Amino acid sequence: MARKDISGIYLITESLPDMMARVRTALENGVKIVQYRDKSEDQKQRLNQACELRAMCRDFEALFIVNNDPELALACRADGVHLGQSDGSVARARNLLGTGALIGVSTHCLKEAMEAQQQGADYIGFGCLFPSASKQDTVATSLQELSRVRAAVTLPIVAIGGIHLDNAALAICAGADAVAVISAVMQADDCADAVRALHRQVQEGRSTSL
């Protein structure tokens, strides 16, 4: 799978007792990108969970990305890795994972987005667009800045930060190719309904932006 596959709903996992069941439900309802995000120090658990999620994504022909950890991405044979601004260089991750890996970079402004493209990233995450309960150490940005980034870079853009049913369409309309969600799916009362509703919002955003 390639850059062009970075679109739609980009699900980021949350460490919950029913994490695997929720991810499977999301995949069953059409999610095609899953990022494994776990900040624990239990390396064995992280590898086991990453391998299980990778196998699950293969079953549904979905991309599997590991957050922040190129070594873990290599060990579990993920499709790629997503790097924060302080998580090491694109070049190092590319050297470790190979030319076929997808490497994403978190960005918060036009300057960072253009630098990520110049460094060889395959896509960028852009945010935090809206207030987020899932991540506290965020840098706020705006839909207006997202539109500026869209006009300046050719990479796929994943909007992130407080994305939910009331604003997903806005992010797509402003130029995002995909919307990253955590609590909107991982903490939804009905995971399947939440994913289906988000799909409708993505389609609405695409129709509005045409």
Tokens 């196998």 belong to 55
Residue in 22, 32, 37, 46 annotated catalytic: 37
What are the phi and psi torsion angles at 181 (to 5°)?
Answer: -130, 145
What's 21-45 look like in SS3?
A: HHHHHHHHCCCCEEEECCCCCCHHH
Residue in 7, 22, 54, 106 annotated catalytic: 106
For the chain, how far is it from start to end, CA to CA, in angstroms? 25
Residue in 3, 135, 148, 206 annotated catalytic: 135
Residues linked to residue 72 through DSSP beta bridges, in sequence order: none
CA distance 93 to 21: 30
148 is catalytic: no
DSSP reduced 3-state for 200 = helix
111 is catalytic: no
CA distance 174 to 149: 10
Q: What single DSSP character describes residue 121?
A: -
Q: CA angle 176-3-76, nearest 5°?
A: 115
- The answer to whether the beta carbons of residues 101 and 71 sit under 8 Å apart is no
- Residues annotated as catalytic are 37, 106, 135
